[in-house]
Every structure is written in structure tokens, then in C-alpha cells.
């Protein structure tokens, strides 16, 4: 593999630990956003309908969809060692967070359905709005921004680790191409007696 290609490829490599914590937090927030409308009423929390595990189109579009995207993108960020796939995951997480914020506002444009009303007092309603939609979405967008910032930084150890992997791949390819070991090289400048051939610049000549 040419050295230029190896260097370019190694710069796309990053440590898997780079997005592990942020990815885990994104998965937790996404799971909360997708599932709390179904189990929250078991402890008196959430929007109507008050029955637990009741599916509605509005819940699917405005909560389950962005929550699922946040979980999936968080998983990609947490396990990816490739800068491109992790960046895509970061932007998807940001889009999911933004959808939590603006989804209930633009939902009437395509008749997504009625999301319901807060089931508690006014204070409880503010808390539910923050933790289920706007506040949750802002938190996800912030985490996505942190992830994208960390992903964009190319540390020296990332390049070194990527180069080590490329070297390992080349050794595997060489081993597959030459099962008995690489071919021996013959020094064409040596004589049959094993002495180097005198050159035109040999002062003893």
C-alpha cells in the first residue's frame, strides 16, 4: 500500500474510547425519550392518554422516532473507530435532538396526530415538557456537539494507532501471499566467493 494512502487512511482512524461516554449518554437519553411516554404513567408522569404502553401515531413520530435515532447514533459513536461513521452518527444525533424540540411545533403541517396534554399540575406539565421534549432535545443536541468536537480532533495517538493497524493488515496480506515466508533477496553485487564486486570508485582498485 502506498505510503500516502496509508497516512490518509490512518487519519480517519480514532480511538474507540473517544466517543464511548458521550455515545452511552446519547443512548440513555434516546431510550428515555422513546420509552417514557409508554411507562411514565405507571408513576403518574407523562402526556395523555394515561394508559401505559398505549401506541399513538403522535408518539411514534414525535418520541419513538427521534429516540430510536438517538439510541442508534449513540451506539455508532460509542463503538466506532472510524471518523467518518462517527461523524455521521453525531449529525444524526443532533437531528434527533432538534426533532424533540421542534417536532411538536411543526407536527400540524402533516397531521401527525395529537400528542396529548400534560397529566399533572402546571408545574408537573412544565417538567414533563422539559424532560420529554424541549429540554431532552437540547441535551441531546449538546451531547452531539461535544461528540462532533471530539471526533474532529486528530490526536497523535490516533494516527499512530491507525498506522499500526495498517501495518498489521499488510503483514497479514504478505503472509497470505507468501505462505512459506517472503521470497529471499539475492545480492547481485556479490561474487560467488561472497566478496563485494569492486566498483569504479574503489580506491584499492
Q: Which residue is it, cell 411545533? A: 105
Whether residue 72 has pLDDT greater than 80 = yes
Q: Give the separation between CA 159 and CA 8, rounded to whole angstroms.
A: 9
Q: At residue 45, what are phi and psi to the nearest 5 degrees?
A: -130, 130
Q: Higher model confidence: residue 204 or residue 23?
A: 23
Give the model confidence (pLDDT) of 6-45 as tens digits: 444 556 777 777 889 999 999 999 999 999 999 988 888 8
With pLDDT > 90 as the criterion, what percentage of the chain qualifies? 45
Closest alpha carbon to 67 in 125, 106, 120, 28: 28
Closest alpha carbon to 107 in 160, 62, 54: 62
Residue 28 in 3-state DSSP?
A: helix
Give the model confidence (pLDDT) of 165-189 as tens digits: 666 666 777 667 766 666 655 555 5
Amino acid at each position: 500500500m502506498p505510503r500516502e494512502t496509508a497516512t490518509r487512511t490512518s487519519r480517519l482512524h480514532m480511538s474507540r474510547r473517544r466517543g464511548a461516554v458521550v455515545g452511552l449518554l446519547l443512548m440513555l437519553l434516546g431510550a428515555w425519550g422513546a420509552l417514557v411516554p409508554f411507562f411514565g404513567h405507571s408513576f403518574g408522569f407523562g402526556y395523555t392518554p394515561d394508559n401505559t404502553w398505549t401506541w399513538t401515531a403522535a408518539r411514534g413520530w414525535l418520541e419513538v422516532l427521534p429516540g430510536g435515532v438517538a439510541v442508534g447514533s449513540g451506539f455508532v459513536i460509542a463503538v466506532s473507530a472510524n471518523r467518518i461513521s462517527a461523524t455521521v452518527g453525531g449529525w444524526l444525533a443532533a437531528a434527533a435532538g432538534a426533532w424533540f424540540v421542534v417536532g411538536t411545533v411543526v407536527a400540524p403541517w402533516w397531521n401527525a396526530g395529537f400528542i396529548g396534554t400534560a397529566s399533572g399540575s402546571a408545574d408537573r406539565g412544565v417538567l414533563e415538557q422539559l424532560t420529554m421534549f424541549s429540554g431532552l432535545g437540547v441535551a441531546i443536541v449538546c451531547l452531539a456537539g461535544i461528540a462532533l468536537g471530539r471526533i474532529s480532533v486528530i490526536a497523535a495517538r490516533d494516527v499512530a494507532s491507525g498506522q499500526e493497524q495498517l501495518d498489521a493488515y499488510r503483514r497479514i496480506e504478505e503472509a497470505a501471499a507468501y505462505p512459506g515466508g517472503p521470497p529471499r533477496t539475492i545480492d547481485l553485487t556479490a561474487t560467488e566467493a561472497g566478496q563485494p564486486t569492486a566498483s569504479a570508485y574503489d580506491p584499492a582498485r
